[in-house]
Structure formats: C-alpha cells, structure tokens
C-alpha cells in the first residue's frame, strides 16, 4: 500500500470563517509539522494553508490510526469542534490522495480554474516541510511527481492562458486596441482597489508611464508611488485624459467625469490617436456613448465580466485535457510506487527461500558424510534450482497486479506472514 492520507477543507466545503480558524500562519508551520510527525502512525508530513484551503498530507504506518492522529491534530491546532468539522472535512487515502494533490498542483481544484499561484504555493509548503525535516523519500517522490504533472498541464494545455479576473481582462481589451502596450501612458482616476489592480496588470504588460488623479492629493501621491508614477491635479482631468492612452476610472463619484462633449474635445486634441476608457466605477464615471465615437473605446464592468466569463468557458474546455494528463500521471506514480513496495519483498523472499534450502542442504551434508567437491557442487546447484523454482511463481504473482492495489497488498501481506519476512519491507 502507498499509506498516504490527506485531510482538509477548502472553499467548496467550508466557509471563510471556518477556514480562517483552521489556517496556519507560515511562521508556525515548522513547529506544527514537528508536533504532527510525533503523532501515532505519522511518518512523514506536510501542511498546506492558503486563503482557500487548509490541508494536511502524511505518509502513515497504518491508515486508520494515522487518519485519527491527523484529525485530532487539526482539531487541536484549529480549536474547531468535531461538529464544526463534520460535513466540511474531506479525507483521501491511497490513490485518491495522490489524485487530489496532483489536481491541486495543476490548479484544477482552485477557486479560479487554472490560476498559476497554487503551483508556487505547493513548492513553498514543500520547502517548509523539507526544512522542518518532516519529508522523507515517500512524500518527496509524491510532490516531485505532482509538480511534474502540473508542469505538463501548463505546457500541454491552454488552461492558464485566458484572463479570468476583471483587472487582467482590462489588459486583454487594451491589447486588442493597441497590439502592444509598451510606451503607452495610463491615467487612473480614483483609488479603488479594482482600478489599482487593472493598472498593476497594465504596467506589468509594458505600459510606460502612470498618472494618478484623486480628490485627495495624499491618496493620489500614495498610489502613484506604488507604480513609480506621478500624481496629477484632479481639477485638471481633461488635460491629463487627453495625454493618456488608457484611462481607468475607479471612483465613488455619482457624477460622470467624462461626458460625450468632453470626449469629443479630447479626441480632437489627440489628432486621431485612439484612447481606451476602462470604467470600473459603479455608478459609471464615463458616458457609455463615448464608445460610439471614432477613436474612442469604452468598456465597463459588465464588458469586463463578459470577457472573464468567456475566458472561464475556454478554461473549462481545456480542463478536460488537463484532467486526462493528471489521471495518466497518477497512474504512472502509483504503479512506480507499488513497484518499489514489491521490490524489497521480492528480494527478502528470494533470500529466505535460499536460506531455508541452504539450511536443509547443510543438515543433509552433515548426515551424508564426506563428499567430493564435484558432488557437493552438484548438490548446491540442485538446491539453488529448487529454490529458484519455488520463488519464481511467488514473485511473478506478486508483480502481476499493479493495477489492483488491494489484491497486491493482501498477497504481499500473506507472503510476509508465511515466510516470516521482516515488517520493514513495507516501508
């Protein structure tokens, strides 16, 4: 058996307040891992704790007591009562635990399908466990295989190529107008979080200069500093809009900052150069009719939402191919892992059979009296062949069921009992 157990709760099974109580601060994970690794049946351990999931993964000596140890650990560290975990905590063992980890690493279990951050988070938590000394050969092999599966999903599918946030959708729309964003100038009006995120994405995509305007000059200067940009006077908006290629409005104002007439004047000043208005405000800060003017492109929250939903549909299409890749990688890992489990049993079985045959040969030789070197050699060869013929069908059968783990594990346990093999061959 793989002896893998994973328990946890995530955005699908538990509300945020429950996840917050179960969460581990990064600084206390090493100590928590040390505590967990000393629990009954727990041999190796890792902890994953993000805003969307809290999970504990372990290699255990025996599954039921190992699972009980992990649940008790989570209850104690989170101070969640059993009835608070009932119906929220999921439990995976053996191949199901492998599949869950692979899907998490490949962002198939994320709140936003295909988001790239989870792969880095898996690496981070793996590194924490490595430094804490709670990862051994088994979990090391498992995590490396999960990272490999995730990289295959990234390279062989387009699941991560479609923008699925409002801010990244704004970049996608701006690119459709300009092709490249290098050298373009951005004006952000207001200090709203969504507007800030949109500008951050635009800046990362190559946009050159950022201007910030806000009713509060202090807030404008603080936000401008985050982008190495400049704060500009709120009372002089028309001038700065005319100098900008992309204008992001994100204010709480109930008044329109850009009406149709102002937009016409701005376009005239720009001598035909296109301008993109990304209006993330509710109520809207820009008259939607601005988008009907030649050279002006207008997008509001609903337009951005439509892009996000269309891109999510594309990601969902790609997810079927990603799931097939994950399934193939899960099967490969489990087959390799079970092959490693069989190998020490086979080696010790061969040794035990030859030891039994050798003991019986020595007993016979003591009774038979003196033999010539040739006679002794022939007897030893005969006994060796007998040992091989006894071992061969047993070994062949042990290797014959890699896709039926329960049957294979039961057979290996029987071999261990019959031939009194060391329990250590299980690890």
Residues belonging to the active site: 51
b/e sequence 185-204, b meaning 16+ C-beta within 10 Å: bbbbbbbbebbbbbbbbbbe
Of how many residues is the chain composed? Answer: 427
- CA dist 301 and 278 (Å) reads 8
- CA dist 149 and 133 (Å) reads 24
Within 10 Å of residue 417's Cβ, how many Cβ atoms? 9
Q: What tokens does 137 get? A: 């050969």
b/e sequence 280-313, b meaning 16+ C-beta within 10 Å: bbeebbbbbebbeeeebbbbbeebbeebbeebbe
Q: 């009713």: which residue's tokens?
A: 215
Q: How many CA atoms lie within 13 A of 110 on its CB side?
A: 25
What is the arrangement of strands in the sheet containing 296-300, beginning at the earlier edge strand?
Answer: 230-231, 209-213, 185-189, 246-249, 275-279, 296-300
Terminal alpha carbon distance of the chain: 9
- CA dist 89 and 312 (Å) reads 28
Helix/strand/coil percentages in the chain, nearest 5? 60, 15, 25
């Amino acid at each position: 058996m793989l002896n893998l157990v994973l328990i946890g709760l995530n955005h699908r099974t538990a509300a945020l307040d429950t996840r917050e109580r179960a969460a581990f601060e990064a600084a206390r994970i090493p100590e928590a891992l040390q505590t967990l690794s000393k629990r009954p049946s727990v041999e190796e351990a890792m902890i994953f704790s993000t805003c969307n999931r809290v999970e504990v993964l372990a290699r255990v000596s025996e599954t039921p007591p190992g699972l009980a140890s992990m649940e008790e650990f989570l209850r104690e560290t989170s101070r969640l009562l059993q009835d608070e975990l009932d119906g929220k905590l999921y439990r995976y063992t053996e191949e199901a635990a492998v599949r869950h980890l692979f899907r998490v690493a490949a962002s198939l279990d994320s709140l936003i399908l295909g988001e790239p951050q989870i792969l880095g988070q898996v690496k981070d938590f793996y590194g924490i466990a490595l430094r804490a000394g709670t990862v051994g050969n088994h979990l090391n092999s498992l995590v490396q295989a999960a990272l490999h599966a995730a990289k295959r999903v990234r390279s062989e599918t387009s699941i991560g190529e479609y923008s699925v946030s409002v801010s990244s959708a704004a970049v996608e729309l701006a690119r459709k107008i300009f092709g490249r964003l290098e050298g373009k100038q951005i004006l952000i009006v207001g200090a709203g979080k969504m507007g800030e995120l949109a500008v951050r994405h635009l800046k990362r995509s190559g946009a050159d200069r950022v201007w910030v305007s806000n009713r509060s000059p202090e807030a404008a200067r603080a936000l401008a500093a985050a982008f190495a940009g400049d704060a500009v006077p709120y009372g002089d908006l028309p001038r700065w809009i005319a100098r900008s290629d992309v204008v992001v409005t994100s204010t709480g104002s109930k008044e329109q900052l850009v009406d149709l007439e102002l937009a016409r004047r701005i376009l005239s000043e720009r001598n035909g150069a296109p301008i993109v208005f990304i209006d993330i405000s509710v109520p809207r800060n820009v008259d939607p009719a601005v988008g009907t003017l030649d050279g002006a492109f207008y997008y509001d929250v609903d337009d951005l939402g439509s892009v996000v939903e269309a891109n999510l549909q594309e990601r969902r299409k790609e997810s079927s191919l990603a799931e097939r890749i994950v399934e193939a990688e899960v099967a490969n890992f489990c087959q390799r892992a079970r092959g490693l489990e069989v190998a020490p049993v086979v080696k010790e079985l061969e040794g035990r059979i030859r030891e039994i045959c050798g003991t019986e040969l020595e007993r016979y030789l003591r009774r038979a009296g003196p033999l010539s070197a040739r006679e002794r050699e022939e007897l030893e060869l005969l006994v060796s062949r007998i040992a091989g013929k006894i071992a061969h069908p047993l070994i062949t059968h042990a290797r014959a069921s890699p896709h039926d783990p329960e049957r294979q594990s039961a057979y290996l346990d029987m071999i261990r009992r019959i031939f009194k093999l060391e329990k250590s061959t299980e690890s």
